[in-house]
Amino acid sequence: MNFTNRIVLLTGGTGALGAVIAQAFLKNGAHVTTTYHGPRSFAELQAALGEEKSRLTGISTDVTKEAGMQTLVEQTINNFGRVDVLVNLVGGYMGGVNLVDTTEVDWERMLTLNLKSTFLSCKAVLPHMLKQNYGRIVNTSSRGAVEVGPGAAAYAVSKAGVLTLTQSLAQEVKAHNITANVVLPGLIDTPQNRQGLPGADYSKWVAPASIAHLMLYLASAEAGAINGAVVPNYGKS
């Protein structure tokens, strides 16, 4: 997939999954702007790159605040003149807590990290995509949004919200050469997840590279006929 001279905006592009996706876009020719929390995570992403790092921009901002997202998009527009692709990867997980024991703080935290951040980034980017009559938006939900188990209500609701938001948005933008699709990963094979579940069969988990390949396709010009899709990527489990 050729992303030469495409402008890609990632939220959460320095995490375990985000770094793989950022590198995949860069290796296919894109200019990538990503958010980051601390300079160390961005420096680690830069260190993993070769000559592609010249096409990587990092902006430290709070994607759960409207002002932070507006600043991120405005800086990207100032740097490159447009945003062709938005991929939302920022999120968090909280499980093992029944609804009766879920605090208001935890409930709001899940909604903020997973749903509000996606809403704000889409809202900030859309005016520019509508103006240029082109765009690709790829959001990240979860298998847990559609296969709900006990003890994860706050997380499941927030990720189900991302799914519904994406489908609604897809209908709003389909006449403007813009697509909005959502990926539902299963358990992702990351160092953090391995640490949390020692002894599990990691071969059944989803490889970050598999998610990256899927997201790059949905973000490509060739995927213009795919809009409002809910795409599972569960690995072998």
**Residues designated as active site:** 155
- Closest-CA residue to 74 (of 135, 33, 117): 33
Amino acid at 199: G
208: Cβ contacts below 8 Å, ≥ 6 apart: 16, 17, 20, 21, 188, 189, 190
Alpha-carbon span 237 to 172, nearest angstrom: 34
- Locate the DSSP E strands across 141-213: 178-185
Stretch (H or E) spanning 9: strand 7-11
Could you give phi then psi for residue 231, rounded to 5 degrees? Answer: -110, 110
Could you give phi then psi for residue 87, rounded to 5 degrees? Answer: -125, 120
Alpha-carbon span 158 to 156, nearest angstrom: 5
